A and B are shown apart, each in its own frame.
Chain A
């Protein structure tokens, strides 16, 4: 059909609709109406034809009626007056002898969505509830829900609600389910339909009569029912048991969810329910519909969080099909990583090895990363594969392998040798900046063991002018300096050249500052440099245990089972625009574990540490400015907020030391008071990304507070509003220099002082370190996510404990 423009089409259609000849021939008339609907569904505005269509609605031809109703319902809100005319026809139809006509009229009467018409609609709806034909009752029941949603604030007639409750016993199962749905909406304020014992058992007994959609809905409603006593509970469970094995995924998922919620206190029952549902879940994961497969895979990942061994023997089900879309392949690989055990590791790695050369680069990178994750437990096998992949000399593969090796070596220092021998004789020129960054890091850290390291670095330094990525440049600076420490003779000259270039010609401030810093550092003497740069750290095996996370309790995820969330979570990882750094337990070591970094914080720098513990990973980027921090802090005052007292003394180390330590775990310090001031405060923030909880990304702001013993008393007297103070204190905090802060801080102290008081008893009262009682951590988070918050807290306390034990030793010494 040629496109004629809205107006022309409308004019033509109007002429056709009002042509008496057309009206006389009902086939022609209907065809014209057909055209109107077609034009409408193509997205053109044909609302101008409303009055013509209203006339067309008075007909005996059901097809025509249906067509006209489609039109009228779409445009009724634009023509409330004309719709009044339709109501008459509709009301007449409501008493038609044909039940189909009655239900049609009743349904569309409510679908007009005009609050003004509800008075005309109520009477036919009341009659409809008692209609002989089930199809009319179905429509009438939902009609009340529609009326309610149009005027959500008006009180629903009690008689109607009672009638609806009565209709739960309707012989037609769809009417029953519709009643549940309608009551859920109407009584939303009161928490939905009341499920007492008779209703619950009535629903359970009629479950088999419903179709799959009804069943899953009833099961969802039943979650609110709490059986009295174990006997009843087990009666219900045994009644539901067959549904766990349903080959309709919706029913199976709804049943499993109901099981999990009913048996939240009986972990053993939950576990056996998971085992029962394993078969159907696996079947869904192999369904013909890719979308269903994806949904099942996402849910299987949830299950694995609690029961990693559940699917171990079925690992072959998660081998990727050749023609599967990348998002399914990536999901399957994530599952495979979880399923690895001694028996299947060879097969899984062999399979993953096959995916590394996939045509789709994202898939191959995911596969390489997956091998790296397995490498934490099966280091040798994985290293062999990874180093073998380097031989392929494929740009994207090499880049991904290097990054994986860097991550692996950071956790498993024992693979240093293998990595060094892989780097030996390296001659590739990588284009990918992330891969180059990883290579430089490895060269810097293992430079003493790779013979060719200075030559490789020299190539990079010679080409630094054409280097675009600031990230790579800073990495290059650090690597060169590190190499200088281990092999000064070979490196000195080029290091000089690099520093000159970076200080004189570089435009990027971060790079320039860093170069300057190193330059000045070198002035302080080689020992200083060594201390700062090496810090003795090539790897952090202590992070190892953090990675093998213990199984979570089922209750952690039971609430999001069978909701859209697991799928959107999956999407956020798969659709991630940055394929090289998957969020799942990636651990990128800090490239600069030095004080130097601390003195010139460059929070925007994307190569800053990206540590993670298990699935929770913290990240300091995007950076927050002090102003933003303050704004958010105040904004979140009412939101997710948690105050916890940790029994941990104030770290005795310098503020810089603390900052560095926190940065190692990706927590950025924004401001702090000088040591030995009271109260002592630090402001921190971090971004968490947690692949497996509801909210994938959250921002956590935190304040560490310690009020000294002396300060406490005076402050308690000043009874002032804390909010005010906090705000001011905050501002100062961001204002960054410590001196100004002190006056403001006192207000803060009192609240904490009280809490301190409670805690005081529990802690050892060592006279000398009286002041270092406990630290109050105030955390604010956006969006709220308890799991992430807890994760953050545990990371933070670990760091603080490490610091305080460390410094305590020096203190006593």
Chain B
């Protein structure tokens, strides 16, 4: 059970404070901030203890989201709850930032009130919550003088069309106003995170993919959605795929609301998406990637006659050329030395598939010795590959039933992120 929940800005300002059980005093907030800032080394560990009170916190959107508990609660539950809370706040307020939390504090209090009672999590489903949440979100965009006089609590437009409370009980939530105006939209995102280690000799040492299918639904009512995956999709190592481009993952798990009666034969997921964002499927693939890793690096590190460190990096993108538009064949790159991290930051806005880029860095390093060259590396890449999944997972179709009246828009997006893409030198 949760004693208190509070949200602090990174500077320690109190944004939200809610005490559910009256067990601990409000000074816990300051105590927490003291403890958090006293520890060094990036982010301090997740759980801290002060007397009888445990602080569990996560960091999201530059804010501290803290839950305190006296009983020995499950860490997974509390952390997941805090994560879910941030997702809810994001769904309701549009984005997650100090400003949006500050502007929507009334909404967040209301959310907290419905989500947790007496320290027990009641529900976090947007379907149920939408019946209860009355306050409308304020997005930070519309800003008029009228707003300023009210310190920006309500957007001027939202105040006018406020409806009577009894009728409002069934009013749908307005999610993420900031994102787009269209109401009848549904997004299905296939998001993959790659973590790759490539050894100094160019050998792929590790390649993991963690993927998920995320549905973000803005439709007020949607009874059932059918998501068709590649028919040759297979799970587990045992299944030999014969020939052809089989899509294989090691492990796969589904949201509990997903019905899988057609999954085994047709690879169709059936789900009734609730409003807001949810993950319908998660999957993992280790080591055995169907394609080569997207980037290769050919480094050469040496010392020039003037005692400078020369780093010649040649980076090649091994994706098929079509995966990026051709128009940007001359990317405007930039590079910067970050003395604090002892790193060179090389930024490439666009990188067409099949292309190759190279860079030569000359660094003045005091006391450079032959041994120092060993210390150079590794190279870490951060990238986002749109319209690309490294497992090859595709969505064949997306069908809504019953057919939505009026124009509805369905979007399928693929993206691969680098969770950690390391190339040793």
Given contacts A61-B165, A392-B374, contact A563 B45 (CB under 8 A): no
Chain B residues lying within 8 Å of A174, measured Cβ to Cβ, are 122-123
Give A98's nearest chain B residue, CB to CB.
B166
Assess whether A42 is interfacial by the CB under 8 Å rule.
Answer: yes
Chain B residues lying within 8 Å of A101, measured Cβ to Cβ, are 165
Chain A residues lying within 8 Å of B369, measured Cβ to Cβ, are 393
A113 smallest CB distance to B (angstroms): 5
CB of B153 within 8 A of CB of A98, answer no
Given contacts A213-B81, A563-B74, contact A359 B134 (CB under 8 A): no
Chain A residues lying within 8 Å of B31, measured Cβ to Cβ, are none
Digitize B225-258: 1 where CB-to-A-CB distance is under 8 Å, 0 elsewhere.
0000000000000000000000000010111100
Q: Which one of A319-327, A482-490, A496-504, A728-736 contacts B? A: A319-327
A246-286: which residues lie under 8 A (CB-CB) from chain B?
246-250, 252-254, 279-280, 282-284, 286
Assess whether B292 is interfacial by the CB under 8 Å rule.
Answer: no
Assess whether A125 is interfacial by the CB under 8 Å rule.
Answer: no
Most chain B CB within 10 A, of A1, A252, A323, is at: A323
Digitize B73-108: 1 where CB-to-A-CB distance is under 8 Å, 0 elsewhere.
111110111110000000000000000000001100
Assess whether A798 is interfacial by the CB under 8 Å rule.
Answer: no
Assess whether A294 is interfacial by the CB under 8 Å rule.
Answer: yes
Assess whether B159 is interfacial by the CB under 8 Å rule.
Answer: yes
Complex Cα spacing A60 to B167, Å = 12
Out of A34, A70, A139, A298, name the residue touching B117 (CB < 8 Å). Answer: A139
Chain A residues lying within 8 Å of B419, measured Cβ to Cβ, are 286, 321
Q: Which one of A350-358, A469-477, A760-768, A789-797 contacts B? A: A350-358
A49 smallest CB distance to B (angstroms): 16
Given contacts A61-B165, A359-B341, contact A564 B54 (CB under 8 A): yes
CB of B45 within 8 A of CB of A574, answer yes
Out of A284, A359, A562, name the residue touching B342 (CB < 8 Å). Answer: A359
CB of B80 within 8 A of CB of A571, answer no
A357 smallest CB distance to B (angstroms): 5
Assess whether B295 is interfacial by the CB under 8 Å rule.
Answer: no
Complex Cα spacing A253 to B75, Å = 9
CB of B197 within 8 A of CB of A351, answer yes
Assess whether B175 is interfacial by the CB under 8 Å rule.
Answer: no
CB of A571 within 8 A of CB of B41, answer no
Interface size class of B (residues with CB under 8 A): 35 or more
Q: How many chain A residues touch the partner (CB < 8 A)?
A: 104
Complex Cα spacing A471 to B90, Å = 54
Chain A residues lying within 8 Å of B83, measured Cβ to Cβ, are 289, 291-292
A428 smallest CB distance to B (angstroms): 12
CB of A283 within 8 A of CB of B282, answer yes
Assess whether A599 is interfacial by the CB under 8 Å rule.
Answer: no
Given contacts A41-B17, A149-B21, A392-B374, contact A575 B75 (CB under 8 A): no
Give A245's nearest chain B residue, CB to CB.
B253
CB of A354 within 8 A of CB of B424, answer yes
Interface residue SS majority, chain A: helix
CB of B45 within 8 A of CB of A38, answer no
CB of B120 within 8 A of CB of A562, answer no
Digitize B135-166: 1 where CB-to-A-CB distance is under 8 Å, 0 elsewhere.
10000000000000011011000010010011
Interface residue SS majority, chain B: mixed
CB of A249 within 8 A of CB of B80, answer yes
Complex Cα spacing A291 to B132, Å = 30
Complex Cα spacing A70 to B113, Å = 9
CB of B135 within 8 A of CB of A63, answer yes
CB of B208 within 8 A of CB of A286, answer yes
Out of B43, B47, B117, B371, name the residue touching A568 (CB < 8 Å). Answer: B47
A212 smallest CB distance to B (angstroms): 7
Most chain A CB within 10 A, of B46, B47, B57, B72, is at: B46
Out of A1, A213, A286, A565, name the residue touching B284 (CB < 8 Å). Answer: A286
Chain B residues lying within 8 Å of A388, measured Cβ to Cβ, are 374
Assess whether B406 is interfacial by the CB under 8 Å rule.
Answer: no
Give B378's nearest chain A residue, CB to CB.
A354
CB of B22 within 8 A of CB of A575, answer no
Assess whether B216 is interfacial by the CB under 8 Å rule.
Answer: no
Complex Cα spacing A135 to B115, Å = 12
CB of A211 within 8 A of CB of B124, answer yes
Digitize B248-285: 1 where CB-to-A-CB distance is under 8 Å, 0 elsewhere.
00010111100000000000000000000000001010
Chain B residues lying within 8 Å of A138, measured Cβ to Cβ, are 117, 122
A143 smallest CB distance to B (angstroms): 8
Complex Cα spacing A213 to B372, Å = 53
Complex Cα spacing A31 to B372, Å = 64
Given contacts A66-B134, A571-B48, contact A391 B41 (CB under 8 A): no
Assess whether B58 is interfacial by the CB under 8 Å rule.
Answer: yes
A807 smallest CB distance to B (angstroms): 46
Assess whether A618 is interfacial by the CB under 8 Å rule.
Answer: no
Chain B residues lying within 8 Å of A294, measured Cβ to Cβ, are 45-46
B25-58: which residues lie under 8 A (CB-CB) from chain A?
26, 29, 39, 41-49, 54, 56-58
CB of B75 within 8 A of CB of A562, answer yes
A503 smallest CB distance to B (angstroms): 40
Out of B105, B117, B253, B377, name the residue touching A41 (CB < 8 Å). Answer: B105
Chain B residues lying within 8 Å of A282, measured Cβ to Cβ, are 284
Cross-chain pair count, CB within 8 angstroms: 269
CB of B206 within 8 A of CB of A284, answer no
B329-371: which residues lie under 8 A (CB-CB) from chain A?
341-343, 369, 371
Given contacts A142-B117, A250-B76, A316-B287, contact A288 B193 (CB under 8 A): yes
Given contacts A41-B16, A288-B193, A564-B54, contact A254 B74 (CB under 8 A): yes
Given contacts A295-B46, A563-B74, contact A392 B372 (CB under 8 A): yes
Assess whether B223 is interfacial by the CB under 8 Å rule.
Answer: no
Chain A residues lying within 8 Å of B397, measured Cβ to Cβ, are none
Complex Cα spacing A174 to B109, Å = 21
B143 smallest CB distance to A (angstroms): 15
Chain B residues lying within 8 Å of A289, measured Cβ to Cβ, are 58, 79, 83
Assess whether B13 is interfacial by the CB under 8 Å rule.
Answer: yes
Chain A residues lying within 8 Å of B168, measured Cβ to Cβ, are 62
Assess whether A549 is interfacial by the CB under 8 Å rule.
Answer: no
Assess whether A82 is interfacial by the CB under 8 Å rule.
Answer: no
CB of B21 within 8 A of CB of A98, answer no
Complex Cα spacing A246 to B19, Å = 31
Give A63's nearest chain B residue, CB to CB.
B134
Digitize A310-349: 1 where CB-to-B-CB distance is under 8 Å, 0 elsewhere.
0000101101111111110000000000000000000100
CB of B54 within 8 A of CB of A31, answer no
Complex Cα spacing A30 to B76, Å = 39
Assess whether B380 is interfacial by the CB under 8 Å rule.
Answer: yes
Chain B residues lying within 8 Å of A323, measured Cβ to Cβ, are 380, 382, 420
Out of A246, A325, A357, A571, name the residue touching B47 (CB < 8 Å). Answer: A571
Digitize A92-108: 1 where CB-to-B-CB distance is under 8 Å, 0 elsewhere.
00000111110000010
Out of A98, A280, A286, name the residue touching B165 (CB < 8 Å). Answer: A98
Assess whether A27 is interfacial by the CB under 8 Å rule.
Answer: yes
Give A65's nearest chain B residue, CB to CB.
B165
Give B199's nearest chain A residue, CB to CB.
A350
Chain B residues lying within 8 Å of A178, measured Cβ to Cβ, are 117, 120, 122
Given contacts A253-B76, A292-B79, A575-B39, contact A66 B343 (CB under 8 A): no
27 interchain pairs, CB-CB under 8 A: A35-B151, A38-B105, A43-B17, A63-B135, A70-B109, A135-B132, A174-B122, A213-B124, A250-B76, A253-B74, A290-B43, A292-B76, A292-B80, A316-B287, A322-B380, A322-B420, A350-B205, A351-B205, A391-B374, A392-B375, A393-B372, A563-B72, A564-B73, A567-B45, A567-B46, A571-B45, A574-B45
Beyond known contacts A296-B76, A357-B377: 7 more, CB 8 A cutoff: A35-B150, A61-B165, A181-B1, A181-B118, A284-B76, A289-B83, A575-B44
Residues of A within 8 A of B (CB): 1, 27, 31, 34-35, 37-38, 41-43, 60-63, 66-67, 70, 74, 97-101, 107, 110, 113, 135, 138-139, 142, 145-146, 149, 174, 177-178, 181, 208, 211-213, 216-217, 220, 245-250, 252-254, 279-280, 282-284, 286, 288-292, 294-296, 298, 314, 316-317, 319-327, 347, 350-351, 354, 357, 359-360, 362, 388, 391-394, 562-568, 570-571, 574-575
